[in-house]
Amino acid sequence: MIADGIPETAQAVRSGHHIDDRVAEIYSHVAPEVEGRLLRSLERRWRQAVRSVSRGGGQTRTPWWQIA
């Protein structure tokens, strides 16, 4: 979401995180336009990942949980 320029408040709301700044938490909201942009960016990245895996372009590095 950071790479796609999604505002921090929208990232926090989508991820279910608490915003430490009480003023931002109380007065910030995610506009429908921002929510739409966020969803489109997540869907685009999902489709790219699915295409990559289906073409055999899956994971080439060792996953973090398998590193000794």
Q: What is the pLDDT of residues 15-63, one digit of tens each?
A: 888 777 777 666 677 889 999 999 999 999 999 998 888 877 655 667 7
The pLDDT score that the predictor gives to residue 5 is 92
Domain membership flag for residue 36 = yes
Domain membership flag for residue 64 = no
* Total structural domains within the chain: 1
Statement: residue 1 has pLDDT above 80: yes
Domain membership flag for residue 67 = no
Domain membership flag for residue 63 = no
The pLDDT score that the predictor gives to residue 60 is 63
The pLDDT score that the predictor gives to residue 16 is 86
pTM: 0.62
CA–CA separation, 34 and 30 (whole Å): 6
Task: Show the DSSP H helices in 1-68 as ranges.
Answer: 8-15, 22-27, 32-54
What is the extent of the structural domain holding 44? 8-55
